[in-house]
Amino acid sequence: MAQEVIVGVADCRVSNQPESSLITYALGSCIAVAIHDPVSQVGGMLHLMLPESSLDASKAEKNPYMFADTGIPLLFHQAYAYGAEKSRLVVCVAGGAQVISDAGIFNIGKRNCLAVRKLLWRAGVMIRSEAVGGSESRTVRLEVGSGKFMLRTAGRPENTSERRNDGVLCLNR
Amino acid sequence: MSEFDELLSSATEEVLENMFYTGAFGPGTEGDGPYYSAGVSFTGSRNGTLDVAAPESTATALAAAFLGETVESVPPEQVPTVIGELANVLCGVVLGRVEEGGHFVIAPPQVSRRELASLARNLALRQVFELEEGTLSVGLTIDVSGDAVSPDG
Amino acid sequence: MAFSVLIVDDCPAMQTVIRRILGISGFDLEACYFAADGSEALSMLRRHTVDLVISDVNMPKLDGEAMLRCLSEDEKLRKVPVVMVSSDGTRSRVDRLVGMGAKGYIVKPFQPAALRAELERVLEAANV
């Protein structure tokens, strides 16, 4: 029977149980980074809130999953510990919407998107698919056994994550 | 904002976000130099020039992001090359939107290191963008009738 | 199957980026050559076996368009698939270069995954 593992806000989960799904809800300006190794059948998901830990070093120390630059390396290393290999990892990214409650941290959704892209590029990791930007909240689910990355945007049925190959960051201005 | 202002702004954002993993977050104010400045001239359906300029620290950060390096590890000789490529790519994007179906030849970028006071300011259209890493200035002149004039006429 | 690539661009930084994308895309590269313009590219192609060319369009000495024309006139070299990489995404330019034999076209600015996808498409079509 499928087991749902909930990834909370500023949280990270990794699993090697093929019957599991990793799910995180209500991605507004936050970003979910989902990774999957189809050979070792290891899947991981990070729900991050902010781009850089230098924004608040003491918070980063208490919870490194809050920030892209501290959370992403931990996600990958935890996956390696379960037997995943970097060269095999399929990476999907979702979130980074511009939400009304953004006020006070200007354009945080866009900043998060760009930080994730920059970090993954620097780490030599390609992003397979992404669903980012816009203004709607997203819920995402990664099936650990199949590697399927499912996406639900408010008001619409769940779908596999769209693949953007047109070279344009999907940020609505 | 005029049509050309909006065009330059959206083109700059697109280039920065897709190849330099950097956002433009509103208008900026230029600080003291030294700056890396890159200019490209173009001919064809229309003639003109596009110029970009960034303080050294910003240029280094942009080069690091472009190459997938850290600021500490980016080879210094690549920094002017990357700024030149930024000008080149931006020019192509702008021209493609100015005139769909137009034919242009973009000359290789001319890159130099200079102080704030000597940056090209005679370009008809000029914007300064605030980036997380500093500022980026973008200037554009498009010849309309054979003389260099403002895009507004 | 391992294959060889020639990257043609007058910007060393862009050569580096394209090479990096090839590396992290998981392609099985036998060799990677570099040229700074179309003239150098033709010289490299006559000296080395190359299975794929990735080329800029705007370059000094001999630009990408002129290079394509030379390749199409060479019985052996015309079989090598060429992917153009350019900031000029105007319909007229794309149509002209594809009409001259380019098998792929990617517009700058592009994300790494976009270049990989275009290369995968071209390599599959060319049975490389």
Q: Does domain A3-160 have CATH number 3.30.1330.200?
A: yes
Give the residue-averaged pLDDT of A21-29: 95
Give pLDDT, residue C37: 96
Closest CA to C5 of C14, C18, A55: C18
How near does any CA of chain C get to the CA of B68, in Å?
8
Whether B43 maps to a domain, the answer reads yes
- Chain A contact for C23 (CB, 8 A cutoff): yes
CATH T-level assignment (fold) for domain C3-125: Rossmann fold (3.40.50)
Whether B132 maps to a domain, the answer reads yes
Give the residue-averaged pLDDT of A60-65: 96
**Pick from B10, B14, B21: which is nearest to A118 by CB?**
B21
The reply to whether residue B18 touches residue A124, judged by beta carbons under 8 angstroms, is no
Closest chain B residue to the Cα of A117, Cα to Cα: B21
The DSSP bridge pattern shows strands A90-95 and A138-143 to be: unpaired
Whether B151 maps to a domain, the answer reads no
Catalytic positions of A, written as ranges: 30
Count structural domains, chain B: 1
- Chain B contact for A168 (CB, 8 A cutoff): yes
Q: Tens of pLDDT along B11-47?
A: 999 999 999 999 998 889 888 889 999 999 999 888 9
| Distance in angstroms (rounded) separating the CA atoms of residues B85 and B127 | 19
Give the residue-averaged pLDDT of A130-159: 89
> Domain range spanning residue B122?
3-144
Give the residue-averaged pLDDT of A41-68: 96
Q: Tens of pLDDT along A91-130?
A: 999 999 987 655 545 689 999 999 999 999 999 999 998 8
The DSSP code sequence of C58-113 is S-SSS-HHHHHHHHHTSTTGGGS-EEEEES---HHHHHHHHHTT-SEEEESS--HH
Give pLDDT, residue B105: 85
pTM, two decimals, is: 0.91
Domain spans of chain A, in order of start: 3-160
User: Half-sphere exposure (CA, 13 Å, Cβ side) for A34?
Assistant: 30
Residues in chain B with CB shorter than 8 Å from the CB of A173 are: 10, 13
Confidence of residue B149 (pLDDT cuts 50, 70, 90): very low
The reply to whether residue C92 touches residue B103, judged by beta carbons under 8 angstroms, is yes
User: Among C24, C83, C84, which would you mutate to test the A interface (most chain A Cβ atoms within 10 Å of its Cβ)?
Assistant: C24
| Distance in angstroms (rounded) separating the CA atoms of residues C112 and A128 | 10
Confidence of residue A160 (pLDDT cuts 50, 70, 90): low
- Chain A contact for C121 (CB, 8 A cutoff): no
Confidence of residue B98 (pLDDT cuts 50, 70, 90): confident
How near does any CA of chain A get to the CA of B134, in Å?
15
The reply to whether residue B17 touches residue A106, judged by beta carbons under 8 angstroms, is no
How near does any CA of chain C get to the CA of A21, in Å?
26
Residues in chain A with CB shorter than 8 Å from the CB of C107 are: 167
Q: Which residue has the tokens 């370009």?
A: B123
| CATH label of the domain that carries residue B113 | 3.40.1550.10
Residues in chain B with CB shorter than 8 Å from the CB of A122 are: 68-70
How near does any CA of chain C get to the CA of A43, in Å?
20
Specify the DSSP class assigned to residue B152: T
The reply to whether residue B21 touches residue A114, judged by beta carbons under 8 angstroms, is yes
Residue B77's contacts (CB-CB under 8 Å, 6 or more residues apart) are none
- Residue C47 in this model has a pLDDT that exceeds 80: yes
